Amino acid sequence: MAQKPLPRRLLLLLVAGVVILPMAAWAIVAVAALLGAMGDDAGQLLLNRLAWLCGALWVVDLVSLVVVQAINSLGDGDQQE
């Protein structure tokens, strides 16, 4: 049996990021809206930027997950033949 080219832990971490990051971004947006309604413009701006960062990390995570899956499927090519 051949060894996987990438560790399974990396794949699990990427899948967890795909699930958790959008929820975190929306929670941060909600708190930013609350801060904006309370008059804290600096806090709202900071949290909105943090939400954008979560969104950017989510996109990077999705692309990384596709690449890791492609590498794993190429590594399994000799077992399927």
Residue 79 binned pLDDT confidence (cut-offs 50, 70, 90): low
Asked if residue 78 belongs to a domain, the reply is no
The tally of domains found in the chain comes to: 1
Residue 81: per-residue pLDDT: 52
pTM for the full model? Answer: 0.80
* Domain assignment of residue 47, yes or no: yes
The confidence band for 3, taking pLDDT boundaries of 50, 70 and 90, is low
Is residue 6 included in any domain, yes or no?
A: no
- The confidence score (pLDDT) of residue 8 equals 86
Residue 42 counted as domain residue: yes
Inside any domain, residue 15: no
Burial class (CB in 10 A: 0-12, 13-18, 19+), 61: buried
Q: What is the pLDDT of residues 25-71, one digit of tens each?
A: 999 999 999 999 999 999 999 999 999 999 999 999 999 999 999 88
Domain range for 30 is 22-72
- Polymer length in residues for the chain: 81
